[in-house]
């Protein structure tokens, strides 16, 4: 299996694009996807759970960390037009698709950036950060990233993370508890859990 979408800045696979549709937060969306990006044939069930369960503030800044072709950030931005949604992905192809998909769905309150996590999103005033993390990159990559996220949240800000229950949810919860003041599970389904970790 080609896993280059997990952490490859410039995928080398051929970029045959296709369009998928999805209902998220009660709205229909169209997403153009390509080879070399995460879950290109359908919205990943973890992504769907995260996108649908996020409590959204009406305004302020949100970060979609590892946005892929954009489902989480675009659905949030569409529902809350005053929210400023920063979307970042290290995979340039994914970031380009996220920009395209924002336009395709009539969403303008997004700022899509191509590059590594907090290097391209250095702000420290995100009200929420949402992520379906690149789990195959391994704990040694993901855990420090989730720890660093805290420095980029406003006081009382919340990090939302989706993880497959059997892919280390229990140990991720313990890890989050070492950094954040409180951690709770806000949604479960299709074998996934969404954690909320409070700054
Ligand atoms: C599991 S995918 C989720 C994609 C999208 N949010 C979704 O749910 O469909 C994780 C994404 O994180 C990106 N990624 C991995 N490491 C990253 C980093 N250090 N900074 C930004 N993005 C990263 C990958 O390129 C990939 O698109």
Q: What structural domains and CATH numbers belong to the chain?
A: 4-198 (3.40.50.150)
Q: Determine the pLDDT at residue 8.
A: 60
Tell whether ligand 1 has an atom less than 6 A from the beta carbon of residue 38: yes
Q: Which atom of ligand 1 is nearest to the CA of 94?
A: 27
Residues in the chain where the model's pLDDT stays below 50 = 1-2
Residue with tokens 């410039």: 10
Q: Determine the pLDDT at residue 1.
A: 37
Tell whether ligand 1 has an atom less than 6 A from the beta carbon of residue 11: no
Closest to 80 in 3D by CA, of 57, 111, 48: 57
Q: Say what the pTM is.
A: 0.94
Q: Determine the pLDDT at residue 10.
A: 62
Tell whether ligand 1 has an atom less than 6 A from the beta carbon of residue 118: no
Q: pLDDT by residue (tens digit) across 166-189?
A: 999 999 999 999 999 999 999 999
Which residues in 80-109 are b (16+ Cβ under 10 Å) and which e?
Answer: beebbbbbbbbbebbbbbbbbbbebbebeb
Tell whether ligand 1 has an atom less than 6 A from the beta carbon of residue 198: no
Q: Determine the pLDDT at residue 13.
A: 61
Residue with tokens 């074998």: 191
Tell whether ligand 1 has an atom less than 6 A from the beta carbon of residue 24: no
Tell whether ligand 1 has an atom less than 6 A from the beta carbon of residue 36: no
Q: Determine the pLDDT at residue 136.
A: 86
Q: Determine the pLDDT at residue 2.
A: 47
Residue 183 · residue 196 · CB < 8 Å: yes
Strands (E), the chain: 17-24, 27-34, 60-65, 83-89, 110-114, 126-131, 153-164, 182-189, 192-198
Residue with tokens 């993390």: 133
Residue 187 · residue 53 · CB < 8 Å: yes
Nearest residue (CA) to ligand 1, atom 15:
7
Distance 60 CA to ligand 1 centre (A): 22
End-to-end CA separation in angstroms for the chain: 37
Distance 67 CA to ligand 1 centre (A): 6
Q: Which token pair is 156?
A: 């009382």
Which residues lie below 8 Å from residue 191, measured CB to CB, with a gap of 6+? 45, 164, 165, 166
Tell whether ligand 1 has an atom less than 6 A from the beta carbon of residue 142: no
Strands (E), 35-140: 60-65, 83-89, 110-114, 126-131
- How deeply is 168 buried, as exposed, middle or buried, from its count of CB atoms within 10 A (0-12, 13-18, 19+)? middle
Q: Which atom of ligand 1 is nearest to the CA of 89?
A: 22
């Amino acid at each position: 299996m080609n896993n280059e979408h997990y952490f490859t800045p410039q995928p080398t696979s051929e970029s045959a694009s296709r369009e998928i549709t999805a209902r998220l937060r009660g709205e229909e969306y169209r997403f153009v996807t390509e080879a070399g990006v995460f879950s290109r044939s359908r919205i990943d069930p973890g992504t769907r759970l995260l996108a649908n369960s996020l409590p959204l503030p009406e305004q302020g800044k949100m970060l979609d960390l590892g946005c892929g072709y954009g489902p989480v950030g675009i659905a949030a931005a569409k529902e809350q037009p005053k929210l400023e949604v920063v979307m970042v992905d290290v995979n340039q192809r994914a970031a380009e698709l996220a920009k395209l998909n924002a336009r395709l769905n009539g969403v303008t309150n997004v700022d899509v950036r191509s590059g590594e996590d907090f290097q391209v999103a250095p702000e420290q005033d995100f009200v929420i950060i949402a992520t379906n993390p690149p789990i195959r990159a391994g704990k040694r990559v993901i855990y420090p990233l989730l720890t660093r996220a805290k420095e980029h949240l406003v006081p009382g800000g919340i990090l939302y993370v989706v993880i497959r229950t059997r892919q280390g949810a229990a140990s991720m919860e313990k890890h989050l508890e070492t950094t954040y003041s409180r951690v709770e599970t806000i949604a479960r389904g299709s074998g996934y859990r969404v954690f909320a970790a409070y700054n």
